[in-house]
Every structure is written in structure tokens, then in C-alpha cells.
Structure 1
Amino acid sequence: MIERRLVTTGLKVLLAELTGRPVGVGTVPVDTQGKPVAPPYTLLYPLDHTTDDATLADRHTTAVSEYQATFVSGPVPGQPDSRGGYEQVQWLADRGRRLVARPADGSAGYAHTLDVPGVTCWKREAFEAGGTSDPTDAIITSVIRFRLHLETSA
């Protein structure tokens, strides 16, 4: 059986690597002192996790995990009247969308490794799901839902 916790951790680490910004699972990310960090950052929400492959002999060696990544922009530190904006949040979402990027040389697989012990992610999907629509907000968001098709590795 594929442990959801391990998949979530692997995805969190990869999104942080791709964006260069902190990722919080279900909450604002915190710094080393346990204090909330200022945006920009990513909020990662685990959604559905299906382990039934619909076969008679299902041994739960496959799973489909879905996540929502909310990319959050924010004011520029040290600039009191600054606001998060579309440029910043689109940059962050574009970096996160690299999760589904294929290798530039055309080889099989994905350009960035999703490290989940004992699990292979053989298919990844990304769906734009909206975001903040009011540019006068101090914080602008962009939402992408990711679907990961997983199987245990031998």
C-alpha cells in the first residue's frame, strides 16, 4: 500500500525546490523558529487519494493522489505600500507547474524527480483551478490541482 504521508512529503519537498520558496501543508509555512513566513509561499492541500485499481486481485500497489497547490504572492518586504501581484504569483505558479515538465532532451519520465521511497510516479497531471480575482487585494493567489498516478516499485 502506498502511504499518503510519504507522497505528501515528497511533493512538498519538490514544490519547495521548484519554486525556491517555502511550502506549508494545510497551513502557512513556518521558519526555523516556528514563526509564519511572509509570502510568497505555497499552500499544499491533500485532496483525494484512491488506492483501488478496480481489479479483482487488487493488492493496493497503485494509487492516484490529488493535491491543490495554492501559490500565494505578497508584499515586498521593506516596502510598506507594496502588494502581491499577478506577475509574482504567475512566476511562482509557473515554477510549481514544472512538476509536470518533461526532460528537454525528449527522454522518458519527468524533468524533476518526485522522491517517494518505494514508489514510482508514472504519470502527472496539472489543472488550473483559478485564484484571487481582485487585483486590489494585498495578496494574490493562483491555484493548480495536481494528480499523481503512483505505483509501488519493486
Structure 2
Amino acid sequence: MIERLPVTEGFQALLETLTGYPVGRRTVPLDDQGQPLPPPYTLLYPLDRADDDNTLADNGKAVVVDYQATFVSGPVPGETDSRGGDDQAQWLADRGWKVVERPADGSIGYAHTLNVGDGVDCWRREAREAGGTSDPNDAIITSVIRYRLYLAKTA
């Protein structure tokens, strides 16, 4: 069985690397003192899991997991009356699309490594934009991408 937590931790780390901003799992990311960080940040939600990759060769060693990443824009710290904007939300989402980016040289695999645990390989990644929301009262605008990861045990 492929455990979900190492996959989630690896995916969280990849998103943090690609965006350069913190990623919270199901909640706003916290600082070292346990206080909520101001946006911009990403919220990562583990969604569905299926222990069948729908292939004829399924040998019970594969799993398909879905995630939702909500890229949250926000006011610029120290700037009075600044607001999170569409440009910032789209910039974060553009970084999130790099999860499925292929190498520029045409080689196989993905441009950015996803570490999901020892003996587990992510052999396919999918992403689709799922919209976004805005809340003018909170000065926040979001973009949402849903990901599907196909994993298999290699050892």
C-alpha cells in the first residue's frame, strides 16, 4: 500500500519550491510561533484516492490521488489599502502549472522532481484549472488547480 502522508508532504514541498511561498495543508500556513501567515500562499487539499489505476496490468501496487491547490493572493505587506489581485493569483497559478511541466530538452518525465517516498514513483501527473474566487471584503482573489497523481510502488 502507498501511504498518503508522504505523497502529500512531497507535493506540498514541490508547490512551495515552485511558488516560492508557503503552502498550508487544509489550513492557512503558520509561522514559527503558530500564527497565520498573510497571503500570498497556497492552500493544499487532499481529495480523492483510488487504489486502482484502471489499467489492465493493475497489480494492486498503484494508487491515484487527487489534490486541490488554491493559490491565494493578498495585500502587499506594509502597503496601506493594497489588495490581492488577479495578476498575483494568476502568477501563483502559473507557478503551480509547473507541476506538470515537461523537460525543455524533450526527455521523458517531468521538469520538477516530486519526492513521494521511498519505493514510490509518480509516473503520470495531470492538472486542470478549476476556476477561482474573489472576496473584495477580504482583498483576496484565488485561482484553483486540481491535480491527479498516478503512483506505483517500485520496490
TM-score by length of 1: 0.93
- C-alpha distance after superposition, 1:60-118 (max 9, x if no partner): 31010000000000000001200000110110110011000000111000000000122
Gap change, CA 1:61 and 1:101, over 3 Å in 2: same
Alpha-carbon distance between aligned partners in 2 of 1:13 and 1:25, rounded to the nearest angstrom? 11
- The answer as to whether partners of 2:134 and 2:140 remain within 8 angstroms in 1 is no
User: Structure 1 residue 32: deviation in Å?
Assistant: 1.3
Q: How is 1:65-144 mapped onto 2 (pairs within 5 angstroms)? A: 65-117=65-117, 118-133=119-134, 138-144=139-145
Structure 1: gaps (5+ residues) = none
Alpha-carbon distance between aligned partners in 1 of 2:95 and 2:143, rounded to the nearest angstrom? 12
CA RMSD in angstroms comes to: 1.8
Share of identical aligned residues, percent?
A: 69
Alpha-carbon distance between aligned partners in 1 of 2:120 and 2:28, rounded to the nearest angstrom? 28
Number of aligned residue pairs? 154
Structure 2: gaps (5+ residues) = none
TM-score by length of 2: 0.93
Name the stretch that deviates more: 51-60 or 137-146. 51-60
